[in-house]
A = this chain, B = another copy of it.
């Protein structure tokens, strides 16, 4: 058996502690898999003295994370600090610069700084691996960069944020409001005290930018992702979607369009019998369409100590068994294209529309006429029961149309004198 692989671990939060536990629990079995032991040489953490319920005996604590990069007895740095800048970025740059491989679960860092870090890793011929950054324990990075690498990818669609999926599941199954579903998620530890990045789509956009880079050969560009969050979704939207035969999801999509690569994160209706509709609570799933393989779906727990540790250790196993460093985003950095934001107007598909109008005669007809004039065909339309002379909600779905056409029609509807609030438009993804 070869010499052990010695790691320096930065960050002993839930995930870091999970990695320590897994490596301790499963030492001999892991050594059988990769032909050598994986040892933790040193760790860094904000509070070295806190009891994490794990055995840290015999492991050096370093004072600052970046110190791990300089240690002679560290072969690989595992970065589990988080954040696109600060200590995490300083550590990863120092480690790669010192010729050490890095394993990270930091999606913000890989998405925001991948364009700087990938050439650094490739110049030093070391690994920069991030299986844990997207989809928790689901091996989707490996699927895109290795398992499906022979394919030209057409689309990647995913449910990439467990917090928002939990909220939508609660709203759909419990008929609860957004606010109470969020409170439930926080009570269960599925949402942080400040859940902004989960529910405004930022977290999903980071993950999508990484998947799009691997799938389409572009530099990760989270700022090129068109982003809409859950704000303003009502229980009516969820229940009407269900009645129309759909399930509401916060969907992340990357796809080739005539206008270029379109990356978008937004609420969307997916058919109730589609694999993505079956993704409940905190699960994640990614659908990948390739020209040879057809459609593949990969699904599992998107977060948590166990799944994330499973992904971090999978990366360590590959490094330990001598897999040579591969291009960080599937192709060597100079071969990646720039991801320019494609216009969302280039999107084609169906739409769900909610309107709140005054209860007066012929409003339904006016809505139908306005859409008809724009050549938008209505598929299903419903006006829920309401108290006479109070505001009326109208919900409808359309057949496939151009986003530009639909947006123009909605703009005309918004000017109708009976309208009480701005129309809500949600995309349908087949």
Contact = CB atoms under 8 A, between A and B. Distances in A.
B149 A317 contact: yes
A300 to B, nearest CB: 4
A63 interface: no
A27 to B, nearest CB: 11
Contacts of A210: none
Interface of A: 18, 22, 26, 29-30, 32-33, 131, 136-139, 142-143, 146-152, 273-275, 278, 285, 290-301, 304, 306-307, 309-311, 313-314, 317-318, 321-324, 326-327, 330-332, 335
12 contacts: A29-B152, A30-B150, A131-B147, A137-B296, A142-B142, A146-B314, A146-B317, A147-B311, A292-B307, A297-B298, A298-B299, A321-B324
Contacts of A310: 148, 150-151, 290, 292-293
Contacts of A314: 146-150
B292 A22 contact: yes
B148 A139 contact: yes
A331 B33 contact: yes
Given A142-B147, A146-B142, A314-B150, A291 B306 contact: yes
A30 to B, nearest CB: 7
Nearest to A151: B310
A150 B293 CA distance: 27
A213 to B, nearest CB: 14
Contacts of A332: 32
Given A147-B314, A314-B148, A297 B297 contact: yes
B297 A300 contact: yes
Nearest to A296: B300
Given A297-B298, A335-B32, A146 B139 contact: yes
